[in-house]
Structure 1
């Protein structure tokens, strides 16, 4: 039993089969209680051992698969990636709003994954087997956009040589996703309001009123309240669209998810290029110092570039865009006479280490200035409190 206990202590995932010539019921029960997979008495046949070993290996495979699925489910929600508290709350909200038909307004900067959220809402709804139609409100001039959305009749305008169904009609029974709704012109906003209220519309140049059954999801990176204040967006339309809202954080405010995102995209492009590539910790730390103005979209492009350009199995700083590893640093330093400028010219210290030391010092001194108040320090640094705590933990600045 001592050997069994040691094996389970040092190799907990390894199945152990006890073989003995002096077996008793008590010993068998104790062995199973201590974690043995099976208990075999001598004499035994080779075929019996083969069957027991095969079953033990199968159980190990199933447990490993379950552990992988558990980890994946905690970090992934469909195509969305992130195990941080903010993303976990968003996953829960998606599941809550999916079953109904209420309009959902998805807010967030460009590149944060607003369309992915819309697709997940559709996927988990009763409309999942019906069309998901996307309309980019910023892609076309207002006249063309109206025709694209609601369709037109033959002869409605020059070039309309045949009747055409609009995207609204094509989405019947499914979901209509209006991206960049903040770019919609006022004239089309009025028609959209009527459509949302009555679920009916007219084609351009048409007389009959048509009805459809669609769920409308919208997204924007703009401040619609500000646009309402400047009379660029209808307040009644805003209230109609904003029954439920989901706000996606920018990447710089969810840096705790950066390793999972990097791993996700690295695996995607490594498999596509038949390469084995890794992002070491020092590269992840370097990437965490960059503000990521393009958010997840920019990160994915950076990962793809690095996987393509790297000549070995490990990504180097020079495989990343220059703006990530060679940014001006002086403006980020506290304006104090002893603000460690000596780290900058010292070429004996690797770039990624210098960046790490600078960031650590800036955070440390900001916390001192704020007397340890994390909320104040996060605001002063332009970070979300959870992102500051992530960095504090990384640099050992969290008090026990």
Structure 2
């Protein structure tokens, strides 16, 4: 596991010894001769780990450590101290330092072991982020993600591109499962132990999107009370997924292009260049060729993103997979709601196969979720929305009942979570974006005024 390490030590001979041991292990090493120079280096470059002497002229190691604690992504610290100063090192650990070593080193192995444990803790944090994201996403089994003959070519492309470092651009209609494809690429890559960080470019206000991507420094704008890491820093060593990339404003398109070309960026309000080792996977439901031709999307960025294009087919082209997907969602939502259902009635499945599915798998998931809420022993045709059951004109009352039930479920979830939409969405087993959409559809949001439960 290679890392970027800063050694802060006023003894030139000892710092060279540390650097030699670390470089032999494949790490990149920078040397600073005192705490002041160390702080300047940290402000200019991102380090995974700092090895610092406790006692130094100009600025001590402990002072250096304390000054970095307010940073958005402070590096881990391992202190080096003389035998008689162990108490100070222990006090530093209580403040958040990772470990300490005594000098002179008894054995290079003690340095290697401490550095290895520190870097493993960084990887565990990144893996935790990735696993939590997977847990929230409710990833279906592999055989369901690729079910249907239309997905055979997609499966092959995913397995071919995953081990590489190539940038991937995923095309497909809304709700086809583009994020699932991106997650599969990540999980099949050498980066699977690091984080997978998704960002919907259309869901973030334009004036906040740059900060979401690249982070910001304290005081960068009104309300920036402390420094904050952006998605690129959170995804370090892993994968960032930029959904709805076609919605990205022109100014940020230029900044993203720079990241792809030079692998560096700055936080908003900052001047330090931060190097990034992140794989970029982007997705769009737009025709980016047309967007480029009509000057709404940069052609140079498009060519950088479109290294390995993958097109995800719509659900109507995967009808041989519909029954399996529907049964999976039915079982999943039955567990969440505590219901014991036999499954889905054959007539209900027939009606679903005859439907066009403009919202694709996301729409199927929502339909099944509502159906499970209404179902008793099994999900039958009457539990399906009128547009699927073919009763748009004669089933008016049924539609009204369904909407009332859905409205009441949403209001109850909001009430139980004190109006917190993210928590309410988790309670309902849907995404926050889906909840936002349903709030508008059901008239629970009027302009900026919300109808409170």
Range of TM-score over shorter length: 0.5 to 0.7
Residue in 2 that maps onto 1:283: 348
Residue in 2 that maps onto 1:209: 273
Q: Is 2:358 aligned against 1:301?
A: no
Deviations 1:196-228 (A, max 9, x none): 001101111111211010000001111111111
CA distance in 2, matches of 1:138, 1:308: 30
The structure 2 residue matched to 1:219, chosen from 277, 283, 286, is 283
Deviations 1:98-131 (A, max 9, x none): 1111000111111111111111111111111101
8 Å CA contact 2:170–2:283 kept in 1: the answer is yes
8 Å CA contact 1:80–1:116 kept in 2: the answer is no
8 Å CA contact 2:340–2:377 kept in 1: the answer is no
Q: Name the larger-Rg structure.
A: 1
What's the secondary structure of 1:324's corresponding residue?
helix
Deviations 1:288-323 (A, max 9, x none): 11111111011111112222212233x322110111
The structure 2 residue matched to 1:159, chosen from 223, 230, 236, is 223
Q: Is 2:161 aligned against 1:105?
A: no
The structure 1 residue matched to 2:377, chosen from 293, 312, 319, is 312
Q: CA deviation at 1:79?
A: 7.5
Residue in 2 that maps onto 1:256: 320
Unaligned ranges ≥5, structure 1: 1-75, 330-343, 345-400
Residue in 1 that maps onto 2:197: 133
Question: Quick one: structure 1 residues 208 and 82, their matched pair in 2 at CA, closer, same or farther if it must change by over 3 Å?
Answer: closer
8 Å CA contact 1:79–1:116 kept in 2: the answer is no
CA distance in 1, matches of 2:334, 2:213: 39
Q: CA deviation at 1:327?
A: 4.9
Residue in 2 that maps onto 1:178: 242
Q: CA deviation at 1:89?
A: 2.1
Residue in 1 that maps onto 2:357: 292
Question: Quick one: structure 1 residues 146 and 100, their matched pair in 2 at CA, closer, same or farther if it must change by over 3 Å?
Answer: same
Task: Please provide the CA RMSD for this pair.
Answer: 1.9
Structure 1: 4+ residue segments shifted above 6 A = none
What's the secondary structure of 1:165's corresponding residue?
coil
CA distance in 1, matches of 2:262, 2:382: 57
What's the secondary structure of 2:185's corresponding residue?
helix
Residue in 2 that maps onto 1:376: none
The structure 2 residue matched to 1:114, chosen from 175, 178, 184, is 178
Question: Quick one: structure 1 residues 77 and 86, their matched pair in 2 at CA, closer, same or farther if it must change by over 3 Å?
Answer: farther
Question: Quick one: structure 1 residues 80 and 238, their matched pair in 2 at CA, closer, same or farther if it must change by over 3 Å?
Answer: farther
Q: CA deviation at 1:328?
A: 6.2
Length-normalised TM-score, structure 1: 0.61
Q: Is 2:159 aligned against 1:95?
A: yes
The structure 2 residue matched to 1:196, chosen from 260, 273, 277, is 260
8 Å CA contact 1:178–1:219 kept in 2: the answer is yes
Q: CA deviation at 1:80?
A: 4.2
8 Å CA contact 1:142–1:188 kept in 2: the answer is no
Question: Quick one: structure 1 residues 328 and 301, their matched pair in 2 at CA, closer, same or farther if it must change by over 3 Å?
Answer: closer
The 5-angstrom pairing of residues 236-385 of structure 1 reads 236-272=300-336, 273-313=338-378, 315-327=379-391
Q: CA deviation at 1:86?
A: 1.6
Unaligned ranges ≥5, structure 2: 1-139, 395-453
The total of aligned residue pairs comes to 254
CA distance in 2, matches of 1:244, 1:101: 10
Length-normalised TM-score, structure 2: 0.54
CA distance in 1, matches of 2:323, 2:145: 10
Question: Quick one: structure 1 residues 323 and 181, their matched pair in 2 at CA, closer, same or farther if it must change by over 3 Å?
Answer: same
Q: CA deviation at 1:253?
A: 1.5
The 5-angstrom pairing of residues 227-238 of structure 1 reads 227-238=291-302
The structure 1 residue matched to 2:149, chosen from 85, 88, 108, is 85
8 Å CA contact 2:182–2:281 kept in 1: the answer is yes
CA distance in 1, matches of 2:334, 2:302: 43
CA distance in 2, matches of 1:168, 1:83: 32
Residue in 2 that maps onto 1:31: none
CA distance in 2, matches of 1:241, 1:308: 41
What's the secondary structure of 2:354's corresponding residue?
coil
